[in-house]
Amino acid sequence: MKLLFSNDWLRRKILTDPDDDPEAGTPLVGSVEVEGASRKEPREATAAVMGDRNVVQLRVALGVLVRQLRLKEGLSIAELAERAHLSEEDLRRVEHDPHYTARPRLIYQLSYYFKVPLSTLSQMSGATHAVDRRLYNAAVKYAAHSDDVSTLTKEERETLDGFVGMLNERSKA
Amino acid sequence: MKELLRVVVLFNRTTCTFESAEVFQELDEKNLDDFERLWRPALQTRRNEFASWAEAAAASAQDSHWNWVEQAKKANASLQYETFAIECCGETQGLMLVDVTKFARVDGQRGRELVYIERIATAPWNRPKFVQTPLFKGVGRVLLGTAISLSVGLGFKGRIGLHSLPQSESWYRDEAGFTDGGYEQAKMMQYFEMNEAQAAAFIADH
Amino acid sequence: MDRRQMTLMLSDKEMNLLDQLADRRGMSKTALLRQALRLYQSVTERIENGEKVFVEHPATKDKTELMVL
């Protein structure tokens, strides 16, 4: 079998490729819920083990966050779905259904698109066994102060920016 | 039997120079031993640190459940699969397993034979999201070029397909020029294909 | 890779079919025969492992089991 590319091609292309090598293939065996439930110790000392009610409250906050980030960019659900390579149905459910378990890929794509820390969105989606207490409290408070409207008021923008800023600060800590 | 296809180059990020590496068709005990002894322990340790699959994906720590040994032995006994390895500095730097009995799904080439990449992976020490100072760059590109070369050699005109891990989707879609075949619920991954023209463009020497 | 040679006698009907299939699939006759061998091995292994191989009608969804003895 002959390789149909030259080493000169490799030299040119490798230098301009993005830093991470592309990967493909079957992901890990097991669902996120199984993986999350199998963890014995919370990752952080301030972590709280989640009950169903806590998960619902966090997902409400996640739905508000995603909706407000989307509105801030002036996008419809269809537009965001197209740009982030997601299904409209899944997006609608994340925004409005706190009993919906978002798939890991969806959380990853939202994190990537909106530049919000992945670990935070994972916790807010209920994908982890334990959640940072401070995140939980901040998320619940944030959701409680947000209204379900089709556009953001100035005050809501400030609240949103403040919450996202806090999430980014926490991920660096 | 393991066969040396050619000497290629990989980029050493530490020395900022290109180094010679060898591409082999078919894995042998050395490659499987490298996976078990060098790759898997590192991946398993990091994997345990993540509370969710999404985070493990982001940190590129997913291979620990992938059983290369079992897959490679199956491949060696079958015409359905082919395996490839890249070696440099005496160690296995990349691995790839392909299935040559699958068919294309994307419009324009539906039903045509293609080389389906079951798994393509670079060693954990080469992954920027996994280690502070990743070593070699270029493993993915070499292996993709190898898959396209195999496809041409088999008479499939360069057609290849794969399911992408989330962190690589934008590379396949926007950089490498694959067609996005849509999300596949059963695998929880996005499916991509290259047609003849896209494959030719990918390896074109200009 | 070591290679060995075989001479294959085909009837007119078989040769015509080989020509047509190769043309339809956009492959050489040799590539097509090699691929047929791979597919035959793949199906045989599945059946020997106890799996069943079906073809399904796209409209009616009727399934017919493919037997390879």
Q: Does B152 touch chain C (CB under 8 A)?
A: no
CB B144 within 8 Å of CB B120: yes
In this complex, the residue of B9, B54, B145 whose CB is nearest that of residue A118 is B54
Task: Give a yes or no: residue C20 inside a domain.
Answer: yes
* Residue C5 falls inside a structural domain: no
DSSP string, chain B: --EEEEEEEEEETTTTEEEEEEEEES--HHHHHHIIIIIHHHHHHHHTT-SSHHHHHHTT--GGG--HHHHHHHHHT-SSEEEEEEEETTEEEEEEEEEEEEE--STTSTT-EEEEEEEEEE-GGG-TTT-SS--EE-HHHHHHHHHHHHHHHTTSTT-EEEEE-GGGHHIIIIIS--EEEEEETTTTEEEEEE-HHHHHHHH---
Mutate to test the interface with C, among B76, B80, B114, B152 (most CBs of C within 10 A): B80
Q: Residue type at C36?
A: A
Q: Does B197 touch chain C (CB under 8 A)?
A: no
Cβ of A24 and B164 within 8 Å? yes
| CA gap B172, C61 in Å, rounded | 34
CA B175 to CA A142: how far, in whole Å? 38
Signed CA dihedral, B128, B130, B135, B140: sign only: negative
Compare all CA atoms of chain C with the CA of B26 and give the residue at the minimum distance. Answer: C1
Residue type, A71: L
- Would you give per-residue pLDDT tens digits along chain B (206 residues)? 899 999 999 999 999 999 999 999 999 999 999 988 888 877 776 655 655 555 665 555 555 556 777 888 888 888 999 999 999 999 999 999 999 999 999 999 999 999 999 998 899 899 887 788 899 999 999 999 999 999 999 999 999 999 998 778 888 998 899 999 998 877 778 999 999 999 999 999 86
pTM: 0.73
For testing the chain C interface, which of B1, B6, B101 should be mutated: the one with the most C CBs within 10 Å? B101
Is B112 within 8 Å of chain C by CB?
yes
Does residue C6 belong to any structural domain of this protein?
Answer: no
Show me where the domains of chain B are located. Answer: 3-203
Q: ipTM of this predicted complex? A: 0.89
Residue A16 lies in a domain: no
Q: What is the pLDDT of residue A143?
A: 84
Residue A122 CA: distances (Å) to CA of A45, A58, A165: 18, 10, 17
Write the pLDDT tens digit of every residue in A16-72: 888 877 888 865 333 332 233 333 333 444 555 667 778 888 898 999 999 999 998
Q: Return the residue in C35, C44, C51 with the most chain B beta carbons within 10 A, the one to mutate for interface testing.
A: C35
| C27 closest CB neighbour out of B3, B101, B155 | B155
Residue C41 lies in a domain: yes
**What is the count of structural domains for chain A?**
1
Tens of pLDDT, residue by residue over B62-114, are 555 567 778 888 888 889 999 999 999 999 999 999 999 999 999 999 999 99
Q: Give residue-wise pLDDT tens across range A103-156.
A: 878 888 898 899 888 888 888 888 776 777 888 888 888 888 776 556 777 888
Q: Do B119 and A24 touch (CB under 8 A)?
A: yes
Query: Residue B97's pLDDT is what?
Result: 93
> Domain span at residue C36?
12-66
Domain count within chain C: 1
For residue A140, the domain's CATH number is 1.10.260.40
Measured between beta carbons, the chain B residues lying within 8 angstroms of C28 are 155
Gap from A5 CA to chain B (nearest CA, Å): 6
Calculate how close chain B gets to C38, using CA atoms only, in Å.
Answer: 5
Distance separating alpha carbons of residues B164 and B57, to the nearest angstrom: 11
Asked if residue A96 belongs to a domain, the reply is yes
Closest-CA residue in chain C for B153?
C31
Cβ contact (<8 Å) for B141 and A28? Answer: no
Residues 6+ apart with CB under 8 A from B81: B71, B74, B75, B97, B98, B99, B100, B118
B79, B99, B157, best to mutate vs chain C, most C CBs in 10 Å: B79
Query: To the nearest whole angstrom, how far is the Cα of B88 from the nearest Cα of chain C?
Result: 22
Q: Does domain B3-203 have CATH number 3.40.630.30?
A: yes
Domain for residue A101, yes or no? yes
What 3-state class would DSSP assign to A6? Answer: coil
CA distance A155 to chain B (A): 32
Q: Torsion angle of alpha carbons B135, B141, B146, B149, nearest 10°?
A: -160
C53 - beta bridge partners?
C66
- Token pair, residue B180, equals 């996005």
Vertex A69 angle, CA A63 and A75, to 5°: 105
What CA–CA distance (Å, rounded) separates A141 from A143? 6
Task: Write out the residue range of the structural domain in which residue A50 sits.
Answer: 46-172
- Binding partners of A (≥3 Cβ pairs within 8 A): B
